[in-house]
Amino acid sequence: SIEAKDFTPEMREAAGACFVQIGLTPPTKGTVDGKLLVSAEQFLEAAYRYTAIGGDCFYCAASFDIQRAMCENHIPIVAHVGLIPSYITWTGWRAVGKTASEALTMWKRLKRLEEIGCFAVELEVVPGRIAEFFAKNTSMIYFSLGSGSGGDVQ
Active site residues: 124
pLDDT for the residue 66: 94
pLDDT digits 0-9 by tens, 78-126: 998 887 666 555 566 657 778 999 999 999 999 999 999 999 999 888 8
pLDDT digits 0-9 by tens, 25-42: 765 566 677 778 889 999
Average of pLDDT values for 43-72? 95
Task: Give the pLDDT band (50/70/90) at residue 72.
Answer: very high
pLDDT for the residue 89: 56
pLDDT for the residue 38: 86
pLDDT for the residue 28: 58
Question: Using the 8-state DSSP alphabet, how is residue 112 labeled?
Answer: H
pLDDT for the residue 86: 60
The secondary structure of 22-81 as a DSSP string is EE---GGG--BTTB---SHHHHHHHHHHHHHHT--EEE--S-HHHHHHHHHTT--EEEEE
Average of pLDDT values for 47-63? 94
Which range is least confidently modeled, 20-29, 49-58, 91-100, 125-134? 91-100
In order of 5, 27, 91, the CA distances from 30 in angstroms are 10, 6, 20
Residues above pLDDT 70, as percent of the chain = 89
Average of pLDDT values for 39-65? 94
